[in-house]
Structure 1
Amino acid sequence: MTEFRMTPFVPTAFHDDATLDLDGQAALAATTAAAGAHAVCALGLTTGEIGSLRAEEIGDVVAATVRGAGGLPVGAGLGPPGPGRLALARRAAAAGADFLVAAVPGGAAAGDHLGEVAELGLPVWLHHHPAATGCRLGGAELAELTDQLGAEAVLVESAPPGDVVAALAGDDDRAVLGGLAALFLPEEVEAGATGTAAGCAVPERLAEVAQRYRADDRTAAWDAYLELLPWLRLEAGSPGLRVRKEAWRQRGVLGSARVREGTPLGSTTKVAITHRLRQVGADVRAPFPGS
């Protein structure tokens, strides 16, 4: 393997009063970039809280991510398929996004809907996430759609991902990335994935895994992955976004773990976050009291 790229999605940062924290957004991007990412993505389909953002906030989030990324390419997710996606794409492009990540819709007209986004002129990544969109395509169908649109990459978030990734891999003109909080990272790599877009509040440890895969040292990569797994499984649970934001708060990158929708985490989970972060060697500057 000559290349394995890490292009994580970062969450959307808010103050305690649920207003955008644009300095926090930039800090998320800067910390992720410094950890060894090759690109930084914002407004993830399941992690960017894009449904809670007002139209004018979209550009602010992208611009703050660009500011923090320090010259790395920045991708912008476009949320679930729907009539407002083209306007959102225009706002993201105007704010400085380098590429757009578009969820694959169902139906025979999928190519037509995505074609409007592709016509904006920015590179497009397709995002296949059946659990979030209800659209489930096979690898051959995704490959055909990718070729039709001239998409640069496909982000596969179906479990297990192996068969779909394997059907897409091998084309030098198309990157294939995994996601799903990196829970299936070894299987994705074994199937031919060329990177991961999984978000992670300890990106420096995920980068270690990616670096070892890039060096084609799969035994060392597996060892590093197993060391990180206790954190990944906590971050990937049903309150995963809240866990990830609380972790970023405990690490001193965010001032607040606020989400716009959803109940706050309880103290038991916050203590577990401190324990698991320390277990994987993360710098915890603001541990939860009593942990």
Structure 2
Amino acid sequence: MNQAEHVPGARAVKVSPKQLHGLSVISLTPFTDTGEVDVASFRRLLDFYLAAGVHGITLLGIMGEVSKLTEADRDTVIETAVSHVAGRVPVTVGCSAPGTHQTLAFVRRAQAAGADAIMVAPPNNTRNLDLVLDHYRAVSEVSELPLVVQDEPTTTGVVLPPAFFGRVVQQVPTARYVKVEEAPTLMKVSAIREAAQDKLGLFGGLGGMYFYEELARGAVGIMTGFAFPEVLVQVYERYQAGDAEGARACFYRYLPLIRFEAQLGVTGVAIRKEIFRMRGVIASAHVRQPAPRIDERTLAELTDLVGFLGL
């Protein structure tokens, strides 16, 4: 499938910059074969996301290879996206860093560049939740942008229990959303909703593997970089239109590809980049090192699965 409109129901949705919902796609960062940021491919990718009907774009997430970007690269990504998207959907910028001072610098730069929201994970391996809460309070003090708290213990080493989000609601005025990436996500979505008294909008993640069930639990959307975003748009819009059965049928049809793409052992980003290259959206599937490469058998399996699903 080379065009978003080949999946019935995919369409562009214009929303208020202050309201995050639906699919806020985690954008890849395209590189040239020599590892430089490929701005031309990035603009094509942004156009592709918008044509697929995404409800928002999230930059500098794990799937954007944020840990391998220089500060100049970060600025290029943010400035290119904000200017190219031009307010058509909200742009959320990842501002996570090991320390609070560094995080605040990233937040200020994102705000100055025109971001609509920011996403911040806890500082790595900070197990003292009082310190984590201090971190988020500091973020709230330097920017009025809506804050997405990224609950991602696999990368950060920080487990945020549901009760923590009750404290967030009380003490972090700009906190509006949570991206839940701790499995089992479904129970945690329900537990956070209860602890935060439904005052935080919840987004799923984990490649989209539980998207339908997360919606059924009250999530407002998902942040993921799945390489066929028009599928997730259709799932969300059918669900919001009251067609839960249609949403579930669409989701379960494409779940094998979602599952295949989420293989952490060969890095989901490498598979995603290869799919976007196959779809003619980006020029190169280059992933900055260190990163494992996809072997020929995995590529053959991917091609077979995409063909089997009629994509």
Instruction: Give the TM-score of the pair, scaled to structure 2.
Output: 0.84
Instruction: Indicate if the aligned counterparts of 1:26 and 1:66 stay in contact, CA closer than 8 A.
Output: no
Equivalent residue for 1:289? none
Q: 1:53 aligns with which of 69, 91, 94?
A: 69
Letter in 2 for 1:51: S
Correspondence list, 1:117-196, <5 A: 117-118=139-140, 119-150=142-173, 151-169=175-193, 171=197, 173-196=199-222
Equivalences for residues 1-291 of structure 1 within 5 A: 5-44=22-61, 46-71=62-87, 72-83=89-100, 84-105=102-123, 106=126, 107=128, 108-118=130-140, 119-150=142-173, 151-169=175-193, 171=197, 173-238=199-264, 239-261=267-289, 262-282=291-311
Partners of 2:149 and 2:178 within 8 A in 1:
yes
* Secondary structure in structure 2 of the residue aligned to 1:117: helix
How far apart, in 1, do the equivalents of 2:261 and 2:120 lie?
A: 24
Alpha carbons of structure 1 residues 81 and 215: separation in structure 2 relative to 1, 3 Å:
farther
Mapped partners of 1:140, 1:206: distance in 2: 30
Aligned partners of 2:163 and 2:192 also within 8 Å: yes
Shift of 1:168: 2.8
Change (3 A) 1:146 1:19: farther
The offset of 1:93, in angstroms, is 2.2
Fraction of identical pairs, as percent: 33
Contact 1:23 1:64 in 2 (8 A): no
The separation in 2 between residues aligned to 1:146 and 1:101, in whole angstroms, is: 16
Letter in 2 for 1:276: L
Amino acid at match of 1:257: A
Identify which range, 90-99 or 200-209, moves more after superposition: 90-99
**RMSD, aligned α-carbons:** 1.9
**Equivalent residue of 2:273, what SS?**
helix
Does the C-alpha gap of structure 1 residues 215 and 249 become closer, same or farther in structure 2, counting only changes over 3 Å? Answer: same
Q: Quick one: distance in 2 between partners of 1:163 and 1:270?
A: 34
Distance in 2 (CA, whole Å) between partners of 1:198 and 1:40 is 10
Amino acid at match of 2:104: L
Q: Is the 8 A contact 1:101 1:126 kept in 2?
A: yes
The residue type paired with residue 102 of structure 1 is V
Q: Is the 8 A contact 1:81 1:103 kept in 2?
A: no
Give the secondary-structure state (helix, strand or coil) at the position aligned to 2:93. Answer: strand
Partner of 2:3: none
Contact 2:25 2:57 survives alignment (8 Å): yes
Matched with 1:288 is: none
Per-residue CA distance 1:231-264 (angstroms, 9 max, x = gap)? 1011100221100011111001100011112132
CA displacement, residues 161-220 of structure 1 (integer Å, 9 cap, x when unaligned): 122211233756421111100111133122211111122110011111111111122211
Q: In structure 1, the residue corresponding to 2:58 is in which secondary structure?
A: strand
- Corresponding residue SS for 2:144: coil
Structure 1's 229 and 142: CA in aligned 2 closer, same or farther, altered over 3 A? Answer: same
On the 8 A contact 1:26/1:67 being kept in 2, the answer is no
- Which SS does the other structure have where 1:8 is aligned? strand
Q: What's the offset of the Cα at 1:4?
A: 5.8
Residue 76 of structure 1 deviates from its aligned partner by: 0.8
